[in-house]
Amino acid sequence: MKPALRVPTRLDRRSVSSQSGFTLITALFLLIVVALLSVYMVTFRNVQQSTVLYAQQGARAMQAAHAGIEWGIYESVVNGNCIANPPFTAAGTALSSFSITLNCTSSAHDEAGIPIITYVLTSTAQTGAYGTLDYVYRSLRATVSVQPP
C-alpha cells in the first residue's frame, strides 16, 4: 500500500516561512566573524613588524653605546686622557642617527706600592625625541684600571 500524498496545510506553510530568515542570520554571523578575524590578523601583523623594528633600533643603540665605551677606553688607556666630550655621532655608519655621549672620571691609587689609575666610563646613545615612539636610549658603564708607564 502506497502512502497517500499529503497536501500542505496552512499551518505547514507558516512554519516554512518563519524559518526562511535563519540562513540570513547565519550568513551575517559568519561574515562578521570573518571580518573581525581579518582585522585581528592585520593588527597582529603590524604589531609584529613594529616589535622587530623596535628591537633592531634597541640593538643599534646598544652598539652605539658600546662604540662610545670602546673609544673612551682607547683614549684613556692609550693616550692617558680621561675625556668627557660633547655628544657626537658615528657619521657614515648605520649608527649615524644616534647621539653618543661619553663621561669619564679617573682616580689614582696605590696597590701594594704600585700606582694604578682607574677610569670609570659611561657611554649613552640615544635617537629620536623623548616621549615619542621612535625614541631609543641605551647606557653602558665600564671600569678600566691601568698601571701608568
C-alpha 41/C-alpha 35 separation (Å) is: 10
Tens of pLDDT along 87-105?
A: 777 777 778 889 999 999 9
Tens of pLDDT along 14-52?
A: 555 556 677 888 889 999 999 999 999 988 888 888 888
> In the numeric block, which cell numbers belong to residue 69?
665605551
Tens of pLDDT along 65-90?
A: 999 999 889 888 888 888 767 677 77
pLDDT(11) > 80: no
Section 54-64 average pLDDT = 91
pTM: 0.67
pLDDT(10) > 80: no
Rounded to whole angstroms, what are the CA distances from 83 to 24, 74, 140? 76, 11, 16
